[in-house]
Structure 1
Amino acid sequence: MQADVTTDTPTSDTPVSESLSIVIPMYNEEDNVVPLLARVHEGLAGYAGPWELILVDDGSTDATVARLQDEARRYGSHVRVVTLQRNFGQTAAMQAGIDHARGTVVAMLDGDLQNDPVDIPRMVARLVAEDLDMVAGWRKNRQDNLWLRKVPSRIANRLIARITGVHLHDYGCSLKVFRGDVIRDVRLYGEMHRFIPAWVASLTSPARIKEMVVNHHARKFGESKYGLSRVYRVLLDLLSVYFFMRFRARPGHFFGRIGLVFGAIGGVALTWLLGVKLFLGEDIGTRPLLLVGILFVVMAVQFLTTGVLSELLTRTYFESGTTRSYTVRPPRGEQPEPGWKQPAGRAARA
């Protein structure tokens, strides 16, 4: 899947009035809470539609929760705090925020002040003006350590793009904007937040995914939660992404291909040995190739039967009525629920 990715800024002067939910996962970011909320409100001051801010505390062990609650009381009911029981990880925190979001558009960003909320209205305008399903941020001028963050990230971006077929410059940028009805159909777990564009592309056309250059700032407070130790988890999750994107509804094809390859190799080996035995009269009982051929045939049978069982499980899953093998694009223009931050002057006009 080749994503149609551009970096142009929308030129439409029509104000965007879509209801917007901003989701920010937080973990041990006590020093960033106050400036973060101030920056969000500054960046959204001119937004023409109703919006809410959902702050998800991912089991922080410092004063993050207390400061979030204090700021929520200070700013009003449009600021909502979701507190997880323990540290479940960034992906789970993002999913919790999405589950609580009510907007027709959902924006996500990190709570470390490296993403700039001022970019959100531009990205929402791009999403609406071009009728997209996702706009991803591209940290073109990234303010991070070259060898610890930039180089591993570039390698990961190229590997992910090559395997998933969704070509973005920056998979790791947390600043993204989605159609709410699309992102709610994506279930995140493990370390899947890096692969959100790929998951979205499995539900919609890659042509509806674009990216924009966004601001990026150096971290001022706290410590980075990322490191090289995450590499092996990313690789394992990448394998899962590859499987589900291409074989989610037909897993038998995945296991069947492997089984047929092993079966062909084992069959050729055993056929050749049979010819040696019948036409040359040689003893084949002590040849290592005999054991290899039998092993490959047994493995082929195992993979083929696993494919059949996986097909049965898939059919049961889709026929249970809890999900579908397709998604329908809903009509636009849903009305927001009460409890939103209304744009300045709306109350007076009402």
Structure 2
Amino acid sequence: MNISIVVPLFNEEESLPELCAWIERVMQENGYTYEVILVDDGSTDESWAVIESLHRNNGHIKGIKFQRNYGKSAALNEGFRAAQGKVVITMDADLQDSPDEIPELYNMIERDGYDMVSGWKKVRYDNAFTKNLPSRLFNGVTSKMTGIKLHDFNCGLKSYKQKVVKSIEIYGEMHRQIPVLAKWAGFRKIGEKVVVHQKRKYGVSKFGFERFVNGFLDLASVMFVGRFGKRPMHFFGFWGSVISFIGLCIWIYLGVMKIVFAKVNMTDRPIFYIGLISIVVGVQLFLAGFLGELITRNAADRNFYLIEKKEGL
């Protein structure tokens, strides 16, 4: 199969028939073998009934239904698990992503050899203050911290080699960090394509302002796990040792001062408590690293490596 199209959705009953008809037209014009996986993330409208009707009329359309709303990351993760195409393409169900972009996204994977291609909504029709400006800030910080040169990390329109989506796990709200997850999994050839952003035709946005706060928290999590997930002592042990050493130096200084100036009461000085807290915090960090190492050493996937086997080798 050439292409698997994964579409996470929540309460999009109005847009689904138009989206699927548009996708079918593009697939037929280009002669692709394909499947469309619609992942209903616990919709409360008639989205699932629409998906069932679309499936009856077109066998290429498949559906996955969640019992309740788990979020976009969970929907993408399940869609990735079910995808069978050589190239996997994701898009949102609100018709703001154009299926006409699919052929070039497919070619950039198959022809140009990219592991992943992310869409860039260079011209957006969202509110400048509630979406555009915060999005630019988030994308700029993420690009700087990760070294991935993308303008739009959170664009729903992306394409992947199948082995990329089978090698990463998306949870929480990590759908914003998929390029980062792909990079940490060893896929370095990540490209970008300017895509058309269309005005919302039906419904309202399902994401609030809190997505930007959560996005930065998720970025911190994925950066930490990517660098220190298999070696927590390198982080906690290092900073625990540094902070404990600072506290020890303070106490040595206070000890010398007590010997030289016997009448000085050390416990009346604020620096005494700074040294005490430094030693306590340092020891706690060191123990956290030690416990993390014990957990990591006994984890079932402690020696998981992504291996690509070549034919004839």
Residue identity over aligned pairs, in percent, reads 37
Q: Residue 62 of structure 1 aligns to which amino acid in structure 2? A: D
Question: Is 2:47 the partner of 1:64?
Answer: yes
Match of 2:195 in 1: 214
1:2-61, Cα deviation, whole Å (9 max, x unpaired): xxxxxxxxxxxxxxxx62110000100111011111111122223344211100000000
2:250 to 262, 269, 276: 269
CA distance in 1, matches of 2:51, 2:14: 11
Shift in Å at residue 313 of structure 1? 1.1
Question: Is 2:140 the partner of 1:158?
Answer: yes
Q: Residue 101 of structure 1 aligns to which amino acid in structure 2? A: A
2:212 to 227, 231, 243: 231
CA distance in 2, matches of 1:267, 1:258: 14
CA distance in 2, matches of 1:258, 1:51: 51
Shift in Å at residue 265 of structure 1? 2.2
CA distance in 2, matches of 1:329, 1:107: 22
CA distance in 2, matches of 1:161, 1:260: 31
Q: Is the 8 A contact 2:73 2:172 kept in 1?
A: yes
Match of 1:338 in 2: none
CA distance in 2, matches of 1:147, 1:330: 48
Match of 2:295 in 1: 313
Shift in Å at residue 331 of structure 1? 4.8
Shift in Å at residue 95 of structure 1? 0.7
Residues 161 and 296 from structure 1, CA distance in 2 versus in 1: closer, same or farther, beyond 3 angstroms? same
Q: Residue 267 of structure 2 aligns to which amino acid in structure 1? A: G
Match of 1:133 in 2: 115
Q: Residue 182 of structure 1 aligns to which amino acid in structure 2? A: V
| 1:44 alignment partner, SS class | helix
TM-score by length of 2: 0.94
Q: Is the 8 A contact 2:164 2:187 kept in 1?
A: no
1:144 to 112, 115, 126: 126
Q: Is the 8 A contact 1:136 1:211 kept in 2?
A: yes
Question: Is 2:12 the partner of 1:33?
Answer: no
| 1:173 alignment partner, SS class | coil
Match of 2:307 in 1: 328
CA distance in 1, matches of 2:147, 2:304: 20
Shift in Å at residue 330 of structure 1? 4.4
Tell which deviates more after alignment, 278-287 or 221-230.
Answer: 278-287
Match of 1:296 in 2: 278
Match of 1:22 in 2: 5
Structure 1: which 5+ residue stretches go unaligned? 1-17, 333-350
1:232-286, Cα deviation, whole Å (9 max, x unpaired): 3222212211111211221111112221231132122112111211223322122
Match of 1:198 in 2: 180
Q: Is the 8 A contact 1:44 1:117 kept in 2?
A: no
Match of 2:28 in 1: 45
| 1:253 alignment partner, SS class | helix
Match of 1:250 in 2: 231
CA distance in 1, matches of 2:281, 2:186: 36
CA distance in 2, matches of 1:133, 1:330: 16
Tell which deviates more after alignment, 133-142 or 279-288.
Answer: 279-288
CA distance in 2, matches of 1:132, 1:48: 22
Tell which deviates more after alignment, 228-237 or 32-41.
Answer: 228-237
Structure 2: which 5+ residue stretches go unaligned? none
- Runs ≥4 in structure 1, deviation > 4 angstroms? none
CA distance in 1, matches of 2:95, 2:146: 29
Shift in Å at residue 194 of structure 1? 0.3
Q: Is the 8 A contact 1:44 1:118 kept in 2?
A: no
Higher relative contact order, chain-length normalized (CA < 8 Å, sep 6+): 1
Match of 1:179 in 2: 161
1:77-110, Cα deviation, whole Å (9 max, x unpaired): 2210111111101111111111111112111110
1:169-205, Cα deviation, whole Å (9 max, x unpaired): 0011011111111211111111100000000000124
Shift in Å at residue 213 of structure 1? 0.8
Give the alignment's Cα RMSD to 1 decimal: 1.6
Question: Is 2:130 the partner of 1:168?
Answer: no
TM-score by length of 1: 0.85
Count of paired positions: 310
